[in-house]
Structures are given as C-alpha cells and as structure tokens.
Amino acid sequence: MTLTSDRAVVADVDVSPEALAAVTAEVASTAAEYDRSGGVPWKGLEAAHRAGLLTASVGSQFGGPGLGLVDTARVLVALGEGDASVGLLAANNLNTHQGQAANAHWPAAAYDDLLRKSQAGPALANAIRAEPELGAPARGGLPTTTARRTADGWSLAGHKTYATGGTALAYHVVWVVTDEPVQRVGHLLVPADAPGITWVETWDHLGLRASNTHDVVYDDVPVPLENFVEIPRGADGVYRDPAAVAGPGSFGHPALYLGVARAARSAFVAYAQERVPTALGRPIATTERIQTVAGEIEAQVAQAEALLFGTLLRLEAGHDVGAQLSVVKTQIARSVVAAVQTAVAALGNPALARKNPLERHLRDVLCVRIHPPQQDTALLAAGRRILGQ
C-alpha cells in the first residue's frame, strides 16, 4: 500500500488458492493461543494485513483492489478457517470498505485517514450498535446513545455493548440519534483515539473469544460535524434498521463460519487418520462408520459452499435474489453447524478436549446464529412473503 498526494492507494492482492492457503496456515498457528488468552489476535491480523486481505474490498475509485462479492467471501473463508476471531474482525472491516465502494458515504477526510492508518498495520472499522437495555437493533427500537450538536460538531454520549474489535479498532461507526428538534438516526464515524472513550472488558464468551467484543462508553466525545451519516427513514416516515434483513454485503459472516467448518473437517480427518485403537489395530479412518461420518461432514460443507458461492455468483450476475438472502444465510448457518457437530459427535470425548481443535471450532461455529437477521425472524419474513401476508 503506497500513499499518493492526499489519497491512500491499496496495492493489488493475491487471492489465488495457494496464497490464501498460506495465510490460513499462518493465522491458524496462533489461533489456540489467542482463544486461551482472549487478547486481540494481533499476529493473525498482521498476517492478513501483510497479504493485503484487510483492505481487499477497498474500491478501485479509492485506489484499492475492489474485490467483488465472491472473492471477498473467499478471503473470509480462508481467514475463518485459520481463526474465527480474525475472520470476524476482517469481515466487519471488509464490509465497511465494501459499503464505501458501493456508496461513498464517509466524508473524504475520515476515509482517507482510515486508509492511511491501514498502511502502517491493521486498521479496523466496525459498526457499534447494540446497547444494554435495547439489545440488538435488528429487533427494533432506537438507540439511547446521543449525538448532541455543538458549536463545531457533535458530542457523543452513550453506552454500547458487543463492540467487536475493542482496542484494535481505528474507527467506531456508532449508531446514534441526534438531539435536534427533528430527531435523526444514523452513524457517527468516531476516530478510536478521540478523547472520552472508555472500554469496559465484559467479553467472556463461549466462542470468538479473541474478538474483543467488549462494552464501550462514550463520555462527551468530540466528533467532526461531517462525520454524521444519516440513515433515511422510509417513505412512510418509519425508521427500519438495515440489519433487519440480509443484503449482499452481509455474507461475510456466513463465509467465515464456512471456514470454521472446513477447519473442523480437517481436524476430523487428521484425528481419524492418526487414531489407532488397540482393539482395531488400524486407523479409524479405515472403518466404514468413520468414512460415512466423513461423507456427512463433506455433504454439509458442500451444501454451505454451494449456497454461499451460488448466491453470490447470482448477485454478481445481476439476478434478483434479494428476497431470499435472509433464508439463504439461515441455511448456510444450519449446514456449517451440522458439519462441526457431526464431527464432534462421532469422536466423542476426545473432540471436546481443549487440546483438540474441534472443541474450539464447535464453540466458534455456534456463534453463526447470533448474526442478524436471526433464524426466527428470517423464517417468519420468508413465510409471510410467500403466503402473501
């Protein structure tokens, strides 16, 4: 990545299978370490940064590679296969750049700053939206986090939960309401080094333990006036949260969990080939039972791959599949969870030991269910649509 005048330019990125496999291996080498410590997975992020993967979706109009939906998903499958937490941080960041490429809504100064910071090392941005009382905004409601007008900009105040990225973030994209006479809803683009930001280390989760999804408190944080990006209300005047339905850019999350399922498949194969019970006298991989289980795992992984990449290819070709995106995400989630659970169930106790990577893959893959739109809302919306309700 090189700097030209006032614009940060991102070099081309190698997304060949060989290059991605090399990054997967490097990221995977420290995944267990960060899962245990819960620290920011810097080594994995730095590996992704050196390969240009954290900025791979920067638009060509900003000097970036401008990867499309399919190649961006391939990147996230590779990172998720190495470390789900690295994959999640990358997915949020790539989605930010992808959104800017499709619709340049960041003010030039802020986006240039983010790109410049991305030259020196991993510089992440993420939407920070959930709140203690409200919960997930996709379920409805408005934030209590407030942007108050000042003489030269905004003052940000509020408390957010599940702020993925923690201190690794370079920019917080904070969901707020304004204190104006006619209240507006939108996001404030907040530099992470702005005064008045306090992190509260609350993240102690089953999976994605290195994602640093802590609470954050904003106390009179100054933000430039132009850094407010409004989310328009509908034609009927009602605000509807964009995360309530899946869009093309939201497939980064299922992609990273497909990577987790692939990693679980590899861990299952390695164990089956190495495990030689004394009563059997040969690897369990030679038995029909384990071979059938391996086939079931492969079927679930293949189904998730076909749904993910088939849908993205249709989107890139211009097909109108938007109405089905939420249920497609649901089906991918079902498949990747089934793949990992099948592997764990077949191996029993050994698969649940901390020294076995399958234990971590199981914990991580279960987190696919929390990303909006969640299964119940996706199925309800799809059912109402086909029933004409």
3-state helix/strand/coil string of 217-258 = EEEEEEEEHHHEEECCCCCCCCCCCHHHCCCHHHHHHHHHHH
* Distance, CA of 379 to CA of 389 (rounded, Å): 13
- Residue with the two structure tokens 């080939």: 273
Which stretches of the chain are DSSP H helices?
Answer: 17-28, 31-37, 42-50, 69-82, 84-102, 108-120, 252-274, 288-316, 325-347, 357-365, 375-387
101 contacts 108 by C-beta, under 8 angstroms: no
pLDDT digits (tens, 9 = 90+) for 354-372: 999 999 999 999 999 999 8
- CATH 1.20.140.10 positions along the chain are 245-387
- CATH 2.40.110.10 positions along the chain are 137-230
Residue 169 has pLDDT above 60, yes or no: yes
Residue 244 has pLDDT above 80, yes or no: no
312 contacts 304 by C-beta, under 8 angstroms: no
- Residue with the two structure tokens 């700053």: 113
Averaged pLDDT for residues 86-103 = 97
- CATH 1.10.540.10 positions along the chain are 2-122
Question: Mean pLDDT of all residues in the chain?
Answer: 94
Q: What is the pLDDT of residue 18?
A: 98
Q: What is the pLDDT of residue 11?
A: 61
pTM: 0.94
pLDDT digits (tens, 9 = 90+) for 30-76: 999 999 999 999 999 999 999 999 999 999 999 999 999 999 999 99
- DSSP, collapsed to helix, strand or coil, labels residue 15 as coil
Q: What is the pLDDT of residue 296?
A: 98
CA distance to 42, 87, 91, 163, 185, per residue, from 169 (Å): 12, 15, 13, 10, 23
Averaged pLDDT for residues 11-21 = 92
Class of domain 2-122 as given by CATH? mainly alpha
- CATH no., domain 245-387: 1.20.140.10
pLDDT digits (tens, 9 = 90+) for 256-283: 999 999 999 999 999 999 999 999 999 9
Instruction: Please tell us whether the domain made up of 137-230 is placed in CATH 2.40.110.10.
Output: yes
37 contacts 83 by C-beta, under 8 angstroms: no
Lowest-confidence segment of 183-192, 244-253, 331-340 by average pLDDT? 244-253
Query: What are the φ/ψ torsions at residue 59 (nearest 5 degrees)?
Result: -65, 150
In our burial notation (b when 16+ CB lie closer than 10 A, e otherwise), range 171-191 reads: bbbbbbbbeeeeebbbbbbbb
pLDDT digits (tens, 9 = 90+) for 205-220: 999 999 999 999 999 9
Residue 9 has pLDDT above 70, yes or no: no
